[in-house]
Amino acid sequence: MNRSTPQQRMALGIIIKQIGLDKETKELMVSNYSDGRCTSTTELTYQEADHMIRTLNDAIGYKKQKTPSDAMKNKILSFFHFMWYKKPDGKIDMPRVNAWCMQYGYAHKPLDDHTEEELPKLVSEVEQMYKKFLKGI
């Protein structure tokens, strides 16, 4: 069982402070997220802390800012999705995507390692591959 990380505990502390929860309410929430197993964020599992962070962020309306890099990576992933780079459960097959990027991409590195300056060229390469894929159907 993986324990929560220091970063998760710090994030929870910041969110709880922003919301203005008192100690008793915080302990009650932690107890709810751990199914009564604990009352301290240090005793939460990684998954419990992650779920609590996501839920509290949704409650206060926090949304992660989308960067141009995120938009380009999402575009690349959507092309791979349409080309059946998926696992049986329907999720994108990232090891396969990264293998393609490392073998055929001009920078020869995994998708997440590309800089914002390198991504437009990779988008073009994946788009060209997608067009070839469509012609082959």
Query: Is 43 a domain residue?
Result: yes
**Same domain, yes or no, for 91 and 127?**
yes
State the residue range of the domain holding 17.
6-60
Query: Is 1 a domain residue?
Result: no
Query: Is 48 a domain residue?
Result: yes
Helix (H, G, I), strand (E, B) or coil at 107: coil
> Model pTM greater than 0.75?
no
Q: Report the alpha-carbon distance of residue 32 to residue 44 in Å, rounded.
A: 11
Instruction: Give the up-direction half-sphere exposure of residue 54: CA atoms within 13 A in the CB hemisphere.
Output: 7
Mean pLDDT over 126-134 rounds to 94
Number of domains comprising the chain = 2
**94: part of which helix (H) or strand (E)?**
helix 94-104
Helix (H, G, I), strand (E, B) or coil at 116: coil
**Same domain, yes or no, for 50 and 72?**
no
Per-residue model confidence as pLDDT tens digits over 40-88 = 999 999 999 999 999 888 888 766 667 899 899 999 999 999 999 999 9
Contact present, 40 and 31 (Cβ < 8 Å): no
**Same domain, yes or no, for 74 and 130?**
yes
**pLDDT > 70? residue 99:** yes
Return mean pLDDT, the chain.
92
**Same domain, yes or no, for 47 and 104?**
no
Contact present, 48 and 37 (Cβ < 8 Å): no
